[in-house]
Chain A
């Protein structure tokens, strides 16, 4: 008994020494045992180790388990299990797995073909620079398979892949010029979706959408704002990104309660169509996205630093507007940018009535009136109002 105890302790000490030796070797320190067994093609030994590593959150282990089920390595081939592991790895941020999910949805491997979902997963991988995903997304867009047929966007994604894939350059060159028939510049972007991946301190939002063909010169603007909540009633701009593409990655470091939408804008035609605002919860208990109450307007109130009267007035006005269902931000203008007089600007006709009401409510020596702002797709969106406040009640 005693001897057994000693032996146990000795063997435990040996295990620790061995473990230390394994950890000390640079390769072993970087490669978890399941991944190492997989690399050595010892799939029977790899399976339980990988399952443990997957349970601890390793996306790479999930990808390997998916590959094993996909190819029937160490166990019978199982397309459904492969898809589940790929999907888990994809959600954990593995780009190759995101691509594999797209491929299985695209091919209908062991399941019904879902080109629309495939396009979304291709777009997520494509946004992260996965060239084969960019190529395949280009093919779906060129064919109008699962997404609206859009030659401009097909060319954009094929050209992104073309630097590394010669076939993509050839395919882009063979694209027919865009047919204007069916083009609807007034249509808002479709299939807007976001997947948040990465650890809490390095979160990445993979945003993607699709759009019917529009007029030349169109761009997309992704807008991310904080969503007004009881604790934080103001709605601040987090990001406003102008892009010709239909998928981008955005680091999300800020607050948890966000809302986002994507606009299709065209400076030349003046058209501007937005998707609905969607909730984006990053908190630990993030709920499934639910339908979000859309804002009646978006208003930015600016005041100069230290202008106590303006700050008070902006606060009151913000509360009153929020009461009406507007999303309001109160910002301090940089001293050199601060205007000398109170003024109200609105982006377009839809914002004019509210802008006039705001102007009428503000104290102004010479009868304040709201003015249309110069059209700037990147700086302002339809329905937006900006107010500079100078001075206010004591």
Chain B
């Protein structure tokens, strides 16, 4: 990468930050994501986490093309393939909970990330509650 390219890239990033600012300021009081946590190896939404689904459903506005993105992850305990499946199941469980709260199914984008893009990076085999999570965002 040339120095020019690096500078241009830095400039773009700076612009992105500037552009993002009004939205960040506007969202001061409203959360821009909601997290639903899971027990180790589990893909069912605990009663204690139902309230998080309620909060998410209370933020979702009506009118196309609103989309709610439901992205699941798993911690680095166990085989990656199993964890990918688990993350999909977790996301699907949350999506079902949101659909049960009236979010139209075609507005829900369900993503299983497995152990990629983890909220907290850990070595393999480390149980990390922050990574056993489904993150709900919307746009």
Contact = CB atoms under 8 A, between A and B. Distances in A.
Interface of A: 39, 41, 63-64, 66-67, 70-73, 76-80, 96-97, 99-100, 103-104, 106-113, 131-132, 135-136, 139, 161, 164-168, 170-171
A41 B65 CA distance: 9
Interface in B68-105: 97, 100-102
A107 B26 contact: no
Chain A residues touching B, majority SS: helix
Nearest to B47: A174
B63 A79 contact: no
Contacts of B19: 76
Interface in B29-86: 29-30, 50, 53-54, 57-66
A66 B63 contact: yes
Given A79-B26, A110-B27, A139-B54, A64 B63 contact: yes
A96 B62 CA distance: 6
B99 to A, nearest CB: 9
A112 B66 CA distance: 23
A97 B62 CA distance: 7
B125 interface: no
Contacts of A132: 57, 62, 101-102
Given A100-B62, A103-B60, A136-B58, A77 B23 contact: yes
B30 A78 contact: no
A78 B102 contact: no
A379 B139 CA distance: 51
Contacts of B59: 103, 107, 109
B123 interface: no
A170 B65 CA distance: 29
Given A107-B58, A167-B53, A71 B66 contact: yes
A64 B64 CA distance: 8
A103 B57 CA distance: 10
Given A79-B23, A107-B29, A109-B26, 12 more contacts: A76-B19, A79-B26, A99-B62, A103-B58, A104-B61, A109-B29, A111-B29, A131-B102, A132-B62, A132-B101, A167-B102, A171-B54
A108 B30 contact: yes
A284 B128 CA distance: 64
Contacts of A111: 29
A339 to B, nearest CB: 54
A64 B65 CA distance: 10
B75 to A, nearest CB: 27
Task: Name the 3 nearest CB pairs between A and B, nearest first.
Answer: A108-B29, A96-B62, A110-B26
Contacts of B60: 103
Interface residues of B, number: 25
Contact of A109 (B30, B50, B57, B66): B30
Contacts of B29: 107-109, 111-113
A135 B26 contact: no
A161 B27 CA distance: 29
B20 to A, nearest CB: 9
Nearest to A130: B62
B61 A99 contact: yes
A168 B58 CA distance: 13
Contacts of B58: 103, 106-107, 136, 139
Contacts of B50: 167
A110 B30 contact: yes
B97 A167 contact: yes
Contacts of A106: 58
Contacts of B23: 72, 76-77, 79
Contacts of A164: 102
B107 to A, nearest CB: 12
Contacts of A139: 54, 58
A79 B101 contact: no
A130 to B, nearest CB: 8
Contacts of B22: 76-78
Contacts of A167: 50, 53-54, 57, 97, 100-102
A96 B63 contact: yes
A135 B65 contact: no
A136 B97 CA distance: 15
A135 B101 contact: yes
A67 B26 contact: no
Contact of A166 (B61, B63, B100): B100
A104 B58 CA distance: 9
B135 to A, nearest CB: 17
B63 A165 contact: no
Contacts of B26: 77-80, 109-110
B57 A135 contact: yes
Nearest to A118: B58
Given A103-B59, A108-B30, A71 B65 contact: yes
